[in-house]
Amino acid sequence: MSIQKPTLPKGTRDFGPQVMAKRNYILDTIKSTFKLFGFQQLETPSMENLSVLTGKYGDEGDQLLYKILNSGDFLKKVTAEKLSKGSNAVLPLVAEKGLRYDLTVPFARYVVMNRNDITFPFKRFQIQPVWRADRPQRGRYREFYQCDADVVGTDSLVCEAEIILMIKRVFSELKLNDYSIKINNRKILTGISEVIGEPGRESDLCVSIDKLDKIGWEKVREELEQKGFSEASIEKLGPIIDMGSKDKFEFLQIFLASSEVGLQGLNELREVFDLLGSFKEDEEFVDFDVVLARGLSYYTGAIFEVKVNNVSIGSVSGGGRYDNLTGVFGLEGVSGVGFSFGVDRLYDVLEELELFPEESLKSTTLMVAHFGEDALSHGLNVLTEARKLGISAEIFPDDAKMKKQFNYADKKNIPFVIIIGSEEIKSGEVTLKNMESGEQRQMGLQEALKQIKQSV
Amino acid sequence: MSIQKPTLPKGTRDFGPQVMAKRNYILDTIKSTFKLFGFQQLETPSMENLSVLTGKYGDEGDQLLYKILNSGDFLKKVTAEKLSKGSNAVLPLVAEKGLRYDLTVPFARYVVMNRNDITFPFKRFQIQPVWRADRPQRGRYREFYQCDADVVGTDSLVCEAEIILMIKRVFSELKLNDYSIKINNRKILTGISEVIGEPGRESDLCVSIDKLDKIGWEKVREELEQKGFSEASIEKLGPIIDMGSKDKFEFLQIFLASSEVGLQGLNELREVFDLLGSFKEDEEFVDFDVVLARGLSYYTGAIFEVKVNNVSIGSVSGGGRYDNLTGVFGLEGVSGVGFSFGVDRLYDVLEELELFPEESLKSTTLMVAHFGEDALSHGLNVLTEARKLGISAEIFPDDAKMKKQFNYADKKNIPFVIIIGSEEIKSGEVTLKNMESGEQRQMGLQEALKQIKQSV
């Protein structure tokens, strides 16, 4: 076999030790928050039957699904005639399975398949990779992690309030202080479309309004005109766009007076704010944003989006309430609310703001360096004693110059080195070096370990 | 769209909350041990280029690789003529990527691609799923986790000793006490094949001897005869098989006297035992098993296998030293040693021995139950206070009968419930119920939280 230079598939990444440590810092923070709020972990297989995946993400989504070639003689059902009909006709003959595209559809499948064993309301979180055959570009990968939490089987607005509190806790733990949680309700958007005289067109309206931040009102206006919204309707939308810092609830109570569903959305939103009050949590960080729409069309109630301020990437988390998660699999009436943290984006934000704590970058706490073979075997007992105390420890395994051993400790960001040489063997003491301060001192082993233990 | 009954692909599994909690108990134990020994985490993509995967696992392995269909018009290079040549000829035209088959080849690829940035010796661990298009059967899945740790870039036998200590620690943490770590050295097997007069045939010898436990000496003997081993050679093998509890080192020192490589293997093994002594760790649990061979042919030095005694599934972990991990990718001389925990098997063993601790099955610590709407909003503050103390807590989000709320707590294995009703609102106290003892008492909120905190 000839030797090839190994490569990585486009749009995929290795996560080396440094990056993994940082990613784990984020994921552990999120996980511990989910657990603190009573969510339980679920994992589903990477492979799903294409019958489960296809048709759930729109035509574009179907194109972006990774399909797995059937095993063995995958062509056995493909005739020349079938071949002449092209890839779309041949696909079902050669591929039965695909890779997970998101965590929501597998979750819905799981709920339907296990409906008799699940105790509802079911609070689940799921942190797993998903795959999309998208064009790779900066910040967009073909394999990336999603990090979802959902509550299904209840329409209690307590869940909405809890989600906001979870987001808040994660950000506070990550020392991210300058951010805002935007919240809206899809029913308010429905109400607005009724009031402006374009009932039932909230989807079109939402898609356009969603771009307001990016392209501005004039462009949104043009787009709405192109979509056939009447000038009168667009005119009526004006006050909403200009609403600014007026009391939004007061304003919308009047604006939506003629729309039952709009008022219902407004009431739901008001209740979420009231519930936040009952939690005795400061609600200032939550911003009612009446033009927040988000692209996904399956939200039916609350809609969330979290933006970090003053960084190049803004939106790092989002979600909302949906009324019919599992209908597509034959189980009606399962309402739920969920949201998703963008791990890659949070990573970039923490990197940009230099918020990864130093501890998250440390690997081993202690390395044992040694002169000569006797010193090595002497050093092994140091490892045993250190690990007994829970201090992560390693020894440089080869006979090597001190410089090389210290270089290793340095590169691996190890904060303490214990040095063993003939002198240490004779005296029964060890030399402890603090790699940050450079300070170096001889002492008894237990004393050295005590000092290390205290400083981590 | 018609509604289909959703299904799971054969050989794959969902891991619901209970199973996840147990799996995490195992994986967290392994991870913390890896870290304690200075190993760092690596993750590689699920998808690899087929050029990286193909040819690394033998012909059978190539068949078991899952291939991913190229995106878009995957047939564009497939002519009717190509089609007539069958699946193997068409495969390279329709699939460029495959799913990870193990963690070793991606690790080797990573080392080669990042050789200039890695500080050697490189101690990495990796816990990720792998995929094999194998026939599913009890205990064999098409998607399963591997859990590997390797040290590369050193041939120090300290690494072998450390691996044994890691295995020992994991088992001790999992309260698995009745097990044995078998160790051998591939060079001893090479030496034996030299001594019996079949030099260079250690691969054939190993494959057969590996089955000794399963099929017995007579069958192994037959197999060796079929493979063309002379009767004289097989006769010479006899004392090895019968060696029993003799001092193996003493015996082999004589048996292997004429084989340089055999003696080298014996010395290496002796040094590993000496090093274990220097760690001041009891080495009784390590069993030098001269017929331990393991199937994989790429081991060149130490070979490990861990067996749990008195359970239906035995071998739960294995590994060894290899001299040339990365040669296939053009980087020669990278020696390493590693091993792998079988997570699914450990799971089954702990289940069989009922060793999962109760704590590993608990989810939320506290549920707030409530009568009526006022009580619900009153209860939200209880959540806030509990979470401040790090107590995982949730509230039943709907107005529901007490029975339903308690049923939920019960099913979710929640040990404490705080009950809020009109009486509690009036008195400012709460009712704390211990779900295990059934005991129920009224007290101040902080006192209740203190009691909960103390008992977890």
Domains and CATH numbers, chain B: 17-42+107-352 (3.30.930.10), 47-99 (no CATH), 362-455 (3.40.50.800)
Reported confidence tier of residue A18, pLDDT bands at 50, 70, 90: very high
User: Which pLDDT belongs to residue B297?
Assistant: 66
Dist CA A55 CA A343 (whole Å)? 26
What is the C-alpha separation between A195 and A198, in angstroms, rounded? 7
Quote the pLDDT of residue A194.
Answer: 95
Q: In B, which residues are within 8 Å of A48 by CB distance?
A: 8-9
Looking at residue A258, its pLDDT comes to: 96
Asked whether residue B336 carries a pLDDT value surpassing 90, the answer given is yes
Is A4 assigned a ligand-binding role in the annotation?
no
pLDDT score recorded for residue A295: 61
More confident residue, B102 or A310: B102
Q: Which of A406, A369, A357 is nearest to B119 (CA)?
A: A406
> What kind and span of H or E run contains B276?
helix B260-278
Q: How many cross-chain Cβ pairs, A to B, lie less than 8 Å apart?
A: 312
* Closest residue, chain A, to B90 (C-alpha): A75
Instruction: Choose, out of B43, B96, B452, the residue to mutate when testing the contact with A (most A CBs < 10 Å).
Output: B43
Q: What is the pLDDT of residues A340-369, one digit of tens each?
A: 999 999 999 999 999 999 888 888 999 999
Least confident of A330-339, A359-368, B278-287, B402-411: B278-287
Minimal CA separation from A219 to chain B, in Å: 33
> How much is the pLDDT for A159?
97
Would the annotation count A237 as a binding residue? Answer: no
pLDDT at B260 over 90: yes
Q: What is the predicted pLDDT for the residue at B337?
A: 96
- Residue A208's pLDDT band (boundaries 50, 70, 90)? confident
Annotated binding site of B for L-histidine, which residues?
Answer: 102-104, 132, 146, 150, 294, 298-299
Question: In this predicted structure, what is the pLDDT of residue B2?
Answer: 59
pLDDT tens digits, B86-141: 999 999 999 999 999 999 999 999 999 999 999 999 999 999 999 999 998 888 89
Each residue of B424-442: pLDDT tens digit?
Answer: 999 999 999 999 999 999 9
Looking at residue B3, what is its pLDDT? 66
Q: Which residues pair with A336 in a beta bridge?
A: A152, A322
B84 pLDDT exceeds 80? yes
Q: Specify the higher pLDDT residue, B2 or A207.
A: A207
pLDDT tens digits along B372-414: 778 998 999 999 999 999 999 999 999 999 999 999 999 999 9
Distance CA A155, CA A151 (A): 9
Report DSSP state, residue B135. Answer: P
Q: What mean pLDDT comes out for the span B38-50?
A: 98
Q: Of all residues in chain A, what percent carry a pLDDT higher than 90?
A: 77
Structure tokens at A44: 């589903």
Are A83 and B86 in contact (CB < 8 Å)? no
C-beta of residue A387 within 8 angstroms of C-beta of residue B39: no
Q: What is the overall mean pLDDT for chain B? A: 92
Q: How confident is the model at residue A229 (pLDDT cuts 50, 70, 90)?
A: very high
Q: Please list, in sequence order, all residues whose beta carbon lies within 8 angstroms of the beta carbon of residue A270, skipping any fewer than 6 positions away.
A: A249
Q: Supply the pLDDT for residue B325.
A: 85
pLDDT band (50, 70, 90) for residue B328 = confident
* Torsion over CA: A211, A215, A218, A219 (sign): negative
Whether the pLDDT of residue A297 is over 70: the answer is no
- Give the closest-approach CA distance of B138 to chain A in angstroms: 17
Q: How confident is the model at residue A240 (pLDDT cuts 50, 70, 90)?
A: confident
CB within 8 Å of A286: residues ≥ 6 apart: A164, A180, A181, A183, A273, A276
User: Could you tell me what percentage of chain B is helix, strand and coil, using 3-state DSSP and rounding each to the nearest 5?
Assistant: 45, 20, 35
Facing B411 at nearest CB: one of A3, A8, A119: A119
In angstroms, rounded to a whole number, what is the distance separating the alpha carbons of residues A436 and B137?
54
Closest partner residue to A95 (CB to CB) among B69, B279, B407 is B69
Percent of chain B with pLDDT over 70: 98
pLDDT at residue A43 in the model: 98
pLDDT average, residue stretch A54-78: 92
**Nearest CB to B329; choose among A3, A124, A156:** A3
pLDDT at residue B280 is higher than 90: no
Residue A102 is assigned to a ligand binding site: yes
Per the prediction, chain A carries an average pLDDT of 92
Which pLDDT value is given to residue A22? Answer: 97
Residue in A80, A161, A392 nearest the CB of B80: A80
pLDDT tier at B295, thresholds 50, 70, 90:
low
Q: B-chain residues within 8 Å CB-CB of A76?
A: 87
Distance of CA A167 to the CA centre of its chain: 11
pLDDT at B400: 94
State whether B158 and A43 contact (CB < 8 Å): no
pLDDT class for A283, splitting at 50, 70, 90? low
- State the pLDDT confidence band at A11, using cuts at 50, 70 and 90: very high
Helices assigned H by DSSP within A79-195 = 80-84, 87-94, 104-113, 158-173, 186-195
Q: What is the pLDDT of residues A392-437, one digit of tens each?
A: 999 999 999 999 999 999 999 999 999 999 999 999 999 999 999 9
CA A221 to chain B, closest CA, distance in angstroms equals: 34
pLDDT the model gives residue A169 = 95
State the CB neighbour count (10 A cutoff) for residue A104.
22
Q: Which residues of A touch B45 (CB under 8 A)?
A: 8-9, 12-14, 143
Residue contact A87–B66, C-beta within 8 A = no
Return the higher-pLDDT residue of B246 and B254. B254
User: Higher-confidence residue: B53 or A313?
Assistant: B53
